[in-house]
Amino acid sequence: MSIELRQVSKRFGSVSAVEDVSLTVADGELVALLGPSGGGKTTVLRMIAGLEVPTSGDLLVRGERVNDVPVQKRNIGFVFQSYALFKTMSVFDNIAFGLKIRKTPPAEIQTRVDELLKLFGLDGLGRRLPHQLSGGQRQRVAIARALAPRPSVLLLDEPFGAVDAKIRQELREWLVRLHRELHVTTIFVTHDQEEAMEVSNRIVIFSRGRLEQIGTPREVYEQPKNEFVARFIGVLNVLELTILNGAARLHELSFPAHGLPEGQTLRIGFRPYAVQISRNLQEHPYLAVIRHVYFLGVQLRLELETPSGLILRTRIVKDEFLRQGLEQGSSVSFQIREYRVLSTGANSLSPEVATVHSAANFAEGI
């Protein structure tokens, strides 16, 4: 079922939680609402659910305005961060709750709940009470309960927040499988960019109540619209340059001026993978020392320090690192293969400026 937000804002008293957000979620999509805490993503989710009413703007479901439709009538499944299982009811009764409210015949309830227990790997746990379950099981009960009345949308608030890292990984994969099987439109909130990248078809990035960017995981990673998105999704090196003698410079580093006037400042950003290093000091134009090595598994993250004291982060495959005989303290030469102009001028942090200038300014090499 398609969902559309048109210029939706939400204020709590004088505090603005969500400002002018417009977005569309197509039928059957799996969308992540991503952002730092307090970014307004949970409020957006709660407005879609009907747990909050927008202060202004329209909320449309299948093209119909539903601002004033009460939560009970929206036919949504909502999974709370705390799971909010009914402590006084068994697993079976928890899952059956929505069906009972809808006056479903008992035989049908039995079939549906059994089916869900099976699908969620909860066979034989129907008689248990919530406090007798593990964290992962509780969460699955919460999702099963939300799905039992066959909602047209499944909304999950920080679904993997309350379980430990190992189970979190399993649950992510499991959610992707579940979505593939049931194909119900799913929107989930997370503050973990890795989780958003891994699980969703599309990511909606919020910060301070505003929508920063919507796109596929690849789009937001490779073509971030502004510095906030670029920094939030993955690691980013940011440099502030000044145009001097026809080039954008910072200490020994220099980049094309992009036609900007002398004295203008310019912020650029580049991913660690864009920084290429070599043991051969003549191979690349700049020099640096490996200050620190972070072991990440197959890959290593290196912290480089240039003679002028700039710190840059790069990534290298472990095999390559060993093949070149590198270690902490090694001197290397490096180049920055690609970078994005994040912003220009004095108001360099303003995202509006950033979007204008970053669209095409993708330079290859130096």
Partner 1 sequence: MGYSIAYLSLVVLIPLAGLLIRVSAMSWADFVRVAFSDRALAAYRLTFGASFIAAAINAVLGTLLAWVLTRYRFPGRKILDALVDFPFALPTAVAGLTLANLFSQTGWLGQFLVPLGIHLAYTTGGIVLALTFVSLPFVVRTLQPVLEEFEVELEEAAATLGAGRWCTFRRVVFPALLPALMTGFALAFARAVGEYGSVLFISSNKPYVSEITPQVIMGWLDQFEYANAMAVAVVMLSASFAILITINVLERWASRFQR
Q: Where on the chain is the footprint of partner 1 (CB under 8 A)?
A: 49-51, 71-74, 76-78, 80, 82, 84, 86-89, 97-98, 101-102, 129-131, 145-146, 149
Helix (H), strand (E) at residue 339:
strand 338-344
Sequence-distant (6+) residues with CB within 8 A of 307 are 252, 287, 288
Residue 281 Cβ, how far from partner 1 at the closest point, in Å? 60
Q: Which two tokens mark 95? A: 């899952």
Residue 92 Cβ, how far from partner 1 at the closest point, in Å? 14
Residue 167 Cβ, how far from partner 1 at the closest point, in Å? 21
State which residue, 131 or 166, has the beta carbon closest to partner 1. 131
CA distance 154 to 282: 56
CA distance 156 to 140: 12
State which residue, 60 or 84, has the beta carbon closest to partner 1. 84
State which residue, 79 or 220, has the beta carbon closest to partner 1. 79
DSSP 53: -
Please check whether residue 186 is in contact with residue 179, taking contact to mean a CB–CB distance below 8 angstroms.
yes
- What's the distance, CA 82 to chain centroid? 20
State which residue, 78 or 270, has the beta carbon closest to partner 1. 78
Give the angle subtended at the CA of 130 by the CAs of 128 and 132, to the nearest 5°. Answer: 65
Residue 142 Cβ, how far from partner 1 at the closest point, in Å? 8
CA distance 213 to 51: 25
The values of phi and psi at residue 55, to 5°, are -70, -40
* C-alpha distances in Å from residue 49, one per residue of 11, 26, 42, 193, 290: 17, 16, 10, 23, 50
State which residue, 73 or 177, has the beta carbon closest to partner 1. 73
Residue 50 Cβ, how far from partner 1 at the closest point, in Å? 8
Please check whether residue 95 is in contact with residue 145, taking contact to mean a CB–CB distance below 8 angstroms.
yes
> How many residues appear in the chain?
366
State which residue, 129 or 214, has the beta carbon closest to partner 1. 129
Handedness of CA 125, 130, 135, 137 (dihedral sign): positive
Residue 45 Cβ, how far from partner 1 at the closest point, in Å? 11
State which residue, 66 or 247, has the beta carbon closest to partner 1. 66
Residue 85 Cβ, how far from partner 1 at the closest point, in Å? 8
